[in-house]
Amino acid sequence: MDEPIVSKEKSPFTITAQKLFEMSSKNLCNGCKVEGNIFLNLLEHGEFCRDCIEKGFEREIGDETERKILIIIYGKDNVYAIEWFPYGYFENLLKIGEGGYGSVYKAKMLTGATIFWNNDSWFMEFDGTEHALKKFSSTQDFWNEFKVYTECMYNNGYWSVPCHGVTRDPIDKQLMLVTTLAEDDIRSYTRRHFAEITWYDRAKQLRELADNLFVIHSAGRVHKDLHSGNILRVYRDKWLGTRIVDFGLSKYVKNEQEKDQADDIRGVLPYIAPEILRREKYTFRSDIYSYGMIMWELTSGRPPFSTIENDTSLAIKICNGLRPEIIEGTPECYADLMKRCWDNDQSKRPCAMHLFNVTFNWAENRDDEMEKQFAEAEIIRKKDAIHYDSTKAAIMHPSVSLKSSILPNTKDINSSLAPIDFTEMTSNDYSLINIKDHENEIQNNPTEERDELEIPDVDESIKSNNQENDDI
């Protein structure tokens, strides 16, 4: 078996801190001598521009037919290897997913195995293990995702889908990440298994999701594209849990605060915080809003606002406070936390650590009152589960997109779309009005996913003075 020989003391490229593409105070590249954005580069042991760092990475790959370790990450709790896998190591590639930033393939590894470091020794997965190969829409998207993986693996190990290495498609020459193959995303899983998913299961998923989000925020990053399609259920030889993926948009919060929000944003409209629709700056609390929408989806079995038109009008209503109607039978403590997560005032939203603490108690350490609420909710869930129709739940308004896209800016908003008082009208009332208008269109054109969606720029007149609070 072709096994790489490595030692903990000596490796070709080590990461001992969050320094891959970390900005330098210098502005002259040691390689090409060109002025510009300069980064610390552990591979070349100097300060170089991004182009020179990427060229150094290519030199480290060298002979693409030879398997080798590219990076050793000495994390806080463990040691992780990022390998180079020759493309010929994989067979039976099957495309299993596509999103706004690339495509995902399932493939079987023919020879060798993925290596890990644990308890002062290396151990390996068996030959023939199926892996996921992720190809990106651009080189920039690859490097963005690769950087987030290395940073967060240093911070907290396998907080996301385990990333084992890199390979290259010999046809288009695009680099691909090699990761553990996930079972499913929670959107599809929830819809297919909604009738048997208990309130305990939901609490456990939310606890794991909060833990993932805390690691990302602890690295100083915001995800910026958090929705149920970007959260996977992962197994290896055992259950690993719920994991956040797709970091093409992820950025440092401090960098987001130093620039104006771009006119064009990406995302899936119902999961995007109102302050982002108003083109304000991303904060940690913008991700928390998305978390609240995922909480609602777990209770309903369908994405929020999926039966109504996702357009300028909906964006304005979201900024004015429209939220999905709380599902009957939701525990009071669950509903209260969910409403705090999607509060229009982001300073009132909890931080990721608070979410973890609360959901941990729901899943593992309920007091008598929590136990009572969840027990009563479970009785209602079992009664209502027999009426859930997964096929009907998959039918969505033709304007709904569940893929993140480059979203054009729509500045011209009809002045007749004045702010609406929702105190006397629930989201269910609003849904019924829109469903009546579009019922025939939905039935004749059912869709689960659309490739493009315009998220409008909400007019300045409806901006609110939300106080920023970036505690993690």
Domain holding 112: CATH number? 3.30.200.20
458's CB contacts (< 8 A; 6+ apart) are 274, 277, 278, 279, 315, 316, 319, 413
Domain final residue pick, 130, 151, 180: 180
Q: Are residues 242 and 164 in the same domain?
A: no
Q: Are residues 146 and 259 in the same domain?
A: no
Q: Which two tokens stand for residue 339?
A: 């409403």
CA atoms within 13 A on the CB side of 95: 6
Q: Are residues 326 and 396 in the same domain?
A: yes
Q: Are residues 130 and 259 in the same domain?
A: no
- Can you tell me the distance from the alpha carbon of 145 to that of 147, in angstroms, rounded to the nearest whole number? 5
Residue 2 in domain: no
pLDDT truncated to tens, each residue of the chain (472 aa)?
Answer: 344 333 333 334 444 434 455 666 777 887 888 877 666 555 555 677 777 777 877 877 888 888 887 777 766 666 777 888 999 989 999 998 877 678 899 998 876 555 555 555 555 554 557 889 999 888 888 888 888 777 766 666 555 677 888 999 999 999 999 988 888 899 999 999 999 999 999 999 999 999 999 988 988 889 999 999 999 888 755 666 888 888 878 887 776 665 556 667 788 999 999 998 888 889 999 999 999 999 999 999 999 999 998 888 888 889 999 999 999 999 999 999 999 999 999 999 999 999 999 999 999 999 999 999 999 999 999 999 999 999 998 999 998 888 876 553 434 443 334 444 443 444 443 333 333 344 344 444 444 443 334 444 544 434 443 344 456 7
Total number of domains in the chain: 2
- Can you tell me the distance from the alpha carbon of 134 to that of 272, in angstroms, rounded to the nearest whole number? 25
Q: Are residues 169 and 196 in the same domain?
A: no
Q: Are residues 73 and 150 in the same domain?
A: yes
Which among 209, 222, 187 has a CA at the least distance from the CA of 402?
A: 187
Residue 37 in domain: yes
Q: Are residues 398 and 269 in the same domain?
A: yes
Domain final residue pick, 180, 207, 242: 180
Q: Are residues 145 and 248 in the same domain?
A: no
Tell me which amino acid residue 172 is.
D
Domain range for 212 is 183-462
Q: Are residues 62 and 210 in the same domain?
A: no
The pTM of the full predicted model, rounded to 2 decimals, is 0.77
